[in-house]
Structure 1
Amino acid sequence: MWVKLAFRLFAREFRRGELTIIFAAIALAVLTVFSLSSVTERIGLNIEKKTSDFIAADRRLSSNHEFTENYLDIANQEGLETASLLFFDSMLFANDELVLGSIKAVSEKYPLRGMVTIKDDLEGLPYEVRGGPQGGAIWLSEGLFYTLNVQVGDTVELGAGQFKVSKVLVNEPDAPFFSLAGNKRVLLNYADISSTQAVQAGSRVFHRLLFAGTEQQLSDYYTWLKPQLKENQNWEGIKDRQSPLGENLVRAERFLLLAGLFGIMLAAVAMAVSAKRYCERQYDPVAMMKTLGGSRQVIRNIFLMHLGLVTGVSIVIGLGLGFILQHIGASYLAQFMGTKLPEAGAKPWLLSAFIGVVCALMFSLKPLLDLFDIPPLRVLRRNLGDRLAVSKMHMVSSLLTILALMWLFSGQIILTLILFGSTLVVIGVLFAVSRALFSFGRKLGLSPGSSWSLAIATLQKRANANAIQLISFALAIKLMLFLVVLKNDMITDWEMQVPEDAPNAFFINISKQDIQPITTFFDANNIIHEAFYPVFNARVNAVNGEEFARRLSKQEGEEQDENAREGVNREPNLTWLDEVPEGNEIVDGQWFSGGDEIEVSVFEGWKEVLDLELGDTISFLANEQRFDAKVTSFRSVDWGTLKPNFVMILSPNMAGKIPVTYFSAAQLESEHNKGISQLLQRHPTVSMIDIKSRLEQAQAIIAQVSLAIGFVLSIVLVSGALVLISQVQASLAERMQEVVILRTLGAKGRLIKLATLYEFILLGAIAGFVAALVSDIALLVIQQQLFDVEGRLHLYVWILGPVSGALFVASIGYFMVANTMRQNTQGLLRKLS
């Protein structure tokens, strides 16, 4: 019996629009979460795919000795794609010219991610391919063509084998950003290694395996692999690379995650406001039903069924609209980026539906339970039950629900607590500001008949409702300010890492006698260049005699053994200098004292990595020569300039103790190409590293991240607007009553319209000011703790917040009530009835 009645009431209220607000709020929650989580997941997958090109795979395993066969066997069983690489140095001979080349032998599936750039001849145009040379052929970098005086099609001796030069090697996806290989690179088929006879027992070679597959496949494989790894074998992903690219990838993921959290908060605010308002509008119907003999159980079943029906329908519609929105947005982004975005998984669907159900229960259930306690006497005394309008338990449960949802969505408790805490501060400050404002407004004594007077009087009259509106408006503005500022700061910071005047070529393997003629050439051709630095490689073995533990993988989320000392598993480039180089600043300690003891100045980023203190002794191994150096200072280094920088600089008394070469950096233009080629021919031991293509690749990724952030920002902006619409719509009935009363008392239409506009302007300006204040302070914490950038205040936000808040709230609010202003009094009375 009650089911039939419930459906009839549901259809009646749905036609009257009684359920519109709560329906729209749940649909908004689902739509926002789905669109944000789906788009951000697809963008994140695309960014990760693009950055995986930098290592030519999803993961790679490196070793100084040969791998056992079961490494690849198990990987193939897990369904992973694999490729094998071997690096070694060997002599190349042609036309009576002999040169030492850096050989990379690759299997047929190389690269697993990205493409190899080649040319058919020296004058041809570069193009991309997947794969390496065929058996019996090799690809040479351009510098080797000049050094060996060969052309495509010629034969070159490599070790004991003879190979046909088939292509000009321009770039490999996993080419090191800085390498001593320079322009003496050779790509060889893996099957041809034995024919060179260059790899023998005891040869200095470097092995690498590449892997590509799903994250689950890679995780399962690494679970098996980890116990098999030797101390000098490293499992890496893009996040393990100590480079600006790896850091920017992490920042991008965190930013997209932050945007998703903002969507959760906006959806929660819209749901809480609309659910509370809907239940308040049912007080009279419930009182009437009880008066007519309806039992508490029947009333409870009816409204819980209404809630279930609204929740189910709104979730389905929210998912549908969210799918359409994310599909349109992703298609636009894919077209703009010139790529195809990977499809999102099941997570956005499940997460959105789950959040829709949770929001409906947690933000509606408590008001509904309060609704069942409405006394029947309310039909005679209309104020009975109003004390239920503000429930402390509902507020606490709503806040805890928002906190839990944010934590569930992010998985990062620190980020969640920062955003949640700043939101609570906004709420507290706004309550204090609104109370002070309304108290001050009573003392203004503005003239009767003034629109400002009426606006302030209206604010005072709806003090509690306006406080809730202020909170909703301020939260929406705060979240949008967060995204605007972070987007501007992040993109600016990333672009500064690749400045326009950055060098685009490194010159390495320079002997001391070559410095003067190369300097003369640079000066004669007006080529801007850096100083010539002595450089050698050395392994950091120990600190104060304590050796380092095996390096672990950040990509797999491993944690270091608490009892083991963490080090760095690479040989850094070292130099010695008399003075602190440009772009470096001593942050702790003193520059070299000039004594007999070898001293070292360390990049401050390695202070924590190596757990260093001033006065510690670092043990190095350069080739077979060991030496110690005392830490005397820590330096900040601006790596973004791309100019020569060093993690460790030794004192000048190191000169003469280790064989070195020199290197420099220059800014080349296209007209310098021919002259540079002739220079390299005259100095065959010198190598040039052209990093222009690598910079362009990095800048392309930054551009994609910037576009993705802009799209996410637009979604959050629309979500914020919908929150404001739902908030204003909840007060339309009360505003209709006010308009009727004012018109009855003789108020003119212009006065009412201006008063309404001024009311929204004041609300928006106050909300914007508080949002700017709290968001800027919270941004200081987030930038430092989450994005690892220097936090700073943003004075423009203090102006942007109130101005944008006033315009945003006034435009949306007035648009929502404009139709009410245009209706005549008789029409408004019919609607109110």
Structure 2
Amino acid sequence: MWVKLAFKLFSREFRRGELTIIFAAIALAVLTVFSLSAITERIGLNIAQKSSDFIAADRRLSSNHAFDPQLLTKANELGLKTAKVLYFDSMLFANDELVLGSVKAGSNAYPLKGKLTIKDNLTSQAYEVATGPKAGSIWLSEGLFYTLNVKVGDNVELGAGIFNVSKVLVKEPDAPFFSLSGNKRVLLSYEDIPVTKAVQAGSRVFHRLLFAGNEQQLSNYYAWLKPQLKSNQNWEGIKDRQSPLGNNLDRAERFLLLAGLFGIMLAAVAMAVSAKRYCERQYDPVAMMKTLGGSRKVIRNIFLLHLSLVTGFSIIAGLLLGFILQTIGADYLANFMGTELPQAGMRPWLLSGFIGLICALMFSLKPLLDLFDIPPLRVLRRNLGDTLALSRLHLFLSFMTIFVLMWLFSGEIVTTLILFASTLLVIAVLFGISRLLFAAGRSLGLRPGSSWSLAIATLQKRANANAIQLISFALAIKLMLFLVVLKNDIITDWQMQVPPNAPNMFIINISEQEVDPITQFFTDNNIAHEAFYPVFSGRVDAVNGEEFARSVSKQEGEEKDEDAREGVNREPNLTWLESLPEGNEITEGKWFTNGDTGDEIEVSVFDGWQETLGLKLGDTITLLVNEQPIEAKVTSFRSVDWGSLKPNFVMILSPNMAGNIPVTYFSAAKLEDKHTKDISHLLQRYPTISMIDIKSQIEQAQSIIAQVSLAIGFVLSIVLISGALVLVSQVQASLAERMQEVVILRTLGAKGRLIKLATLYEFMLLGAIAGLVAAIVSDVALLVIQQQLFNVEGRMHPYIWLLGPLSGAIFVSAIGYFMVARTMRQNTQGLLRKIA
């Protein structure tokens, strides 16, 4: 019998709109989480896919000697796609011209990810292909066409073989960030390696195996491979690359994760407020049911069924609306970026449905228990049961639910704790401020009949309810300020790292005698360039006599050995300089003191290596340069802006290092397409010089920046809508009380203008206070987030201390006044009927 009654009540309340608040809240939670998680997952997948394209595979294994065939056999057994690549240098000969080219030989499956960009001739349009040249033909970079004076269709001698030049090689997906390929790149079929006879025993070659598959297959393969890895073999993914791209990818992932956490937090606040408000609106019906003989069990079953029905319907509605919203957003982003975003998996569906269910259960549990305890005498004494409105247990359950959901979504306890702690700080500060301000309003001495006096009196009357409203408003404003500031700081920081005049070509292997003529060449052709740096390679062989361990793979999530030193198993480029280069800043110690006259060599070290190597000022580093040990004393540590794409060094030695070892010179320049022919002639005149083209790296970094920037705009719109709905639900909860106040004020002779202005001022004060506290707390939390999550120098943002109150006042007053404007326009008789 109670089931039939429950469905009748559910149908009546749904038509009357009694269930719309909690329905909208659960649907909002599901919609927000689904749309944010789906769009961030799709953009994340696209960034990861583009990044995998950047190394032509999901993972790669590198070595300077041939691989055991068993490595490929095992990979094929596990279902991985594989490809082989071999790098070597060889002479090319055509039309009486001889030049040393950097050759890449790829198997038929190369590249596993990404596309090769080629042209049919020097003047045609570039296009993409999925595979490399066929046996018997080669592709040459544009510079080699000018150097060798050949055209497509001509034959070129490569080593001992003769090959047909079939295409112009424009771009490879896995062009290394630093290589000697530059303007002399050759792409060859792997089958033609024996034809060249350039690869013999003892030849200087570089082997690479490429792998593509899902994460489980790759993890299983690496687990089998790891015990067999030799010290000179490297297993890596895009996250292991020490380049601006790897840094940008890591930052993008962290920002998208942060955006998803914001959505969950805001949706949870909306759900908690709405669930509490719904139960409060059922106090009178429950009291009446008990008066008419309804048992606690029947009442409990009725409202639990109502909650189950509205939860089920709202989750379905939220999923459908979220799917539509993320589809529209993803299509817009895809069209803007000129790409197709991968489809999201099942995670957004399962996560948003689960969060909607948990929110409905946890945020409704305590209000429902309070609802069942409403005494029957409430039908006579309407204030009975009001003391149940605030509950420490309910608050504790709500906070713990939000924390667990955020942790579940992010999987990162540090990120969750930072956001959660800052939210608790906002709540504590606002609750205290609200009580003080509203109490202090009594002594302001505002004159009767003033709109400000009436607004403050109204705030004082609803002190507890306004404190809750302040907290809700502040959280919405806080999340919006977070995203606005992060967009301004992080995205602008990325864009500044790749400025319009950033160099896109590095020039290496320059002898000292060639520096002046090359400088003159740049001047004559109006080519912007950096200074010429002496450069040599050196391995950190010891720090105070200690040795170093093999580095771990970040891509596979390996834990580092806390007792071993890492990050020194490579030979970085080093230099000596008299003055501190641009983009570097001394963080500890002093710049060189002995000039050119002292005997002791000094070194300034990149501060990122300070902790890695366990260095301190005064330590002695032993560098192994061409088998020659060189000792240098650490006199300073520097911060380095690696993302600027300008020449930078992990170690800079004092000028008295000059003359101890042979060096070449190194510079960077901003080249345009029109310079290609002139540069080719320059390289022909100085055949030992090599150019390193980093255009593709810049384009890749800019692509990631564009995608994340668009994602921020989408997330901001979702957060803005969610914040508005939270505000609407809060104002909706006080409409009945406001109707009573309007009737009383009109009865006492108050004019409509006075009531309207008082209402507007009330919302403006609430918004300004909430915005000010949200801005200050957000700035502190942002300082921590920038340092901990994005590894950038944190800074305060005083401008949001003005933006917060201003935007809060406008946002809250506009939406709040719009919600109550309809009530203001109704006549007193109509309001009395609604109240009754």
TM-score range, shorter chain: over 0.9
Q: Residue 245 of structure 2 contacts residue 700 of structure 2 at CA under 8 Å; is this kept in 1?
A: no
Amino acid aligned to 2:18:
E
Amino acid aligned to 2:112:
L
Equivalence for 1:247 = 247
Q: Residue 510 of structure 2 contacts residue 665 of structure 2 at CA under 8 Å; is this kept in 1?
A: yes
More divergent stretch after superposition (136-145 vs 251-260): 136-145
- In 2, the alpha carbon distance for the partners of 1:53 and 1:542 equals 37
State the shift of 1:224 in Å: 2.3
Cα displacement string for residues 541-564 of structure 1 (whole angstroms, at most 9, x for unaligned residues): 443333322221111111112333
Matched, 1:186 2:189: no
More divergent stretch after superposition (150-159 vs 10-19): 150-159
Equivalence for 1:55 = 55
Amino acid aligned to 1:421:
A
Equivalence for 1:816 = 819
- In 1, the alpha carbon distance for the partners of 2:158 and 2:373 equals 90
TM-score by length of 1: 0.97
Pairing 1:591-606 to 2, within 5 Å after superposition: 591-592=591-592, 593=594, 594-606=597-609
Pairing 1:282-293 to 2, within 5 Å after superposition: 282-293=282-293
The correspondence for 1:740, drawn from 743, 746, 756, is 743
SS in 1 for 2:425: helix
Q: Residue 622 of structure 2 contacts residue 629 of structure 2 at CA under 8 Å; is this kept in 1?
A: yes
The correspondence for 1:697, drawn from 693, 697, 700, is 700
Amino acid aligned to 1:415:
T
Cα displacement string for residues 425-482 of structure 1 (whole angstroms, at most 9, x for unaligned residues): 1111111211121122111222222222111111111111111101100110011000
Cα displacement string for residues 232-274 of structure 1 (whole angstroms, at most 9, x for unaligned residues): 2211111111112211111111111111111111111111111
Equivalence for 2:339 = 339
Equivalence for 2:75 = 75
- In 1, the alpha carbon distance for the partners of 2:645 and 2:240 equals 20
Pairing 1:482-497 to 2, within 5 Å after superposition: 482-497=482-497
Equivalence for 2:360 = 360
SS in 2 for 1:341: coil
SS in 1 for 2:294: coil
- In 2, the alpha carbon distance for the partners of 1:220 and 1:253 equals 24
Equivalence for 1:831 = 834
State the shift of 1:514 in Å: 1.6
The structure-2 alpha-carbon separation of the partners of 1:277 and 1:542, relative to structure 1 and needing over 3 Å to count, comes to same
The correspondence for 1:783, drawn from 786, 799, 809, is 786
The correspondence for 2:641, drawn from 635, 638, 641, is 638
- In 2, the alpha carbon distance for the partners of 1:389 and 1:33 equals 28
Equivalence for 2:315 = 315
SS in 2 for 1:540: strand
Cα displacement string for residues 79-100 of structure 1 (whole angstroms, at most 9, x for unaligned residues): 2222111112222233343332
Cα displacement string for residues 723-768 of structure 1 (whole angstroms, at most 9, x for unaligned residues): 1111111111111121222222222222222211111111111111
Equivalence for 2:101 = 101
The structure-2 alpha-carbon separation of the partners of 1:338 and 1:579, relative to structure 1 and needing over 3 Å to count, comes to same
Q: How large is the RMSD of aligned CA atoms in angstroms?
A: 1.8
- In 2, the alpha carbon distance for the partners of 1:656 and 1:125 equals 49
More divergent stretch after superposition (415-424 vs 519-528): 519-528
Matched, 1:708 2:711: yes
- In 2, the alpha carbon distance for the partners of 1:681 and 1:516 equals 17
Q: Residue 47 of structure 1 contacts residue 705 of structure 1 at CA under 8 Å; is this kept in 2?
A: no
State the shift of 1:670 in Å: 4.6
- In 1, the alpha carbon distance for the partners of 2:138 and 2:568 equals 34
- In 1, the alpha carbon distance for the partners of 2:251 and 2:422 equals 21
Amino acid aligned to 1:283:
Y
- In 2, the alpha carbon distance for the partners of 1:480 and 1:639 equals 30
Equivalence for 2:387 = 387
Cα displacement string for residues 35-80 of structure 1 (whole angstroms, at most 9, x for unaligned residues): 1111111111111112222211221111122222222222223322
> Could you list the runs of 5+ residues in structure 2 that have no partner in the other structure?
none
- In 2, the alpha carbon distance for the partners of 1:762 and 1:128 equals 59
Equivalence for 1:649 = 652
Cα displacement string for residues 788-809 of structure 1 (whole angstroms, at most 9, x for unaligned residues): 1111111211111111111111
The structure-2 alpha-carbon separation of the partners of 1:64 and 1:530, relative to structure 1 and needing over 3 Å to count, comes to same
- In 2, the alpha carbon distance for the partners of 1:830 and 1:229 equals 82
TM-score by length of 2: 0.96
- In 1, the alpha carbon distance for the partners of 2:833 and 2:733 equals 18
- In 1, the alpha carbon distance for the partners of 2:696 and 2:34 equals 37
More divergent stretch after superposition (555-564 vs 783-792): 555-564
- In 2, the alpha carbon distance for the partners of 1:334 and 1:235 equals 32
SS in 1 for 2:668: strand
Amino acid aligned to 2:741:
E
- In 2, the alpha carbon distance for the partners of 1:118 and 1:232 equals 33
Equivalence for 1:773 = 776
Pairing 1:716-755 to 2, within 5 Å after superposition: 716-755=719-758
Equivalence for 2:795 = 792
- Identical counterparts, % of pairs: 80
Q: Residue 576 of structure 1 contacts residue 654 of structure 1 at CA under 8 Å; is this kept in 2?
A: yes
State the shift of 1:669 in Å: 4.1
Equivalence for 1:554 = 554
Matched, 1:675 2:678: yes
Matched, 1:574 2:574: yes
Amino acid aligned to 2:571:
E
Equivalence for 1:306 = 306
- In 1, the alpha carbon distance for the partners of 2:361 and 2:161 equals 74
Cα displacement string for residues 261-301 of structure 1 (whole angstroms, at most 9, x for unaligned residues): 11111111111111111111111221222222221111111
Q: Residue 119 of structure 1 contacts residue 168 of structure 1 at CA under 8 Å; is this kept in 2?
A: yes
Amino acid aligned to 2:82:
T
> Could you list the runs of 5+ residues in structure 1 that have no partner in the other structure?
none
Q: Residue 234 of structure 1 contacts residue 552 of structure 1 at CA under 8 Å; is this kept in 2?
A: no
- In 1, the alpha carbon distance for the partners of 2:425 and 2:490 equals 25
Q: Residue 141 of structure 2 contacts residue 185 of structure 2 at CA under 8 Å; is this kept in 1?
A: yes
Q: Residue 506 of structure 1 contacts residue 690 of structure 1 at CA under 8 Å; is this kept in 2?
A: yes
Q: Residue 44 of structure 1 contacts residue 253 of structure 1 at CA under 8 Å; is this kept in 2?
A: yes
State the shift of 1:506 in Å: 1.9
More divergent stretch after superposition (112-121 vs 486-495): 112-121
Amino acid aligned to 1:665:
A
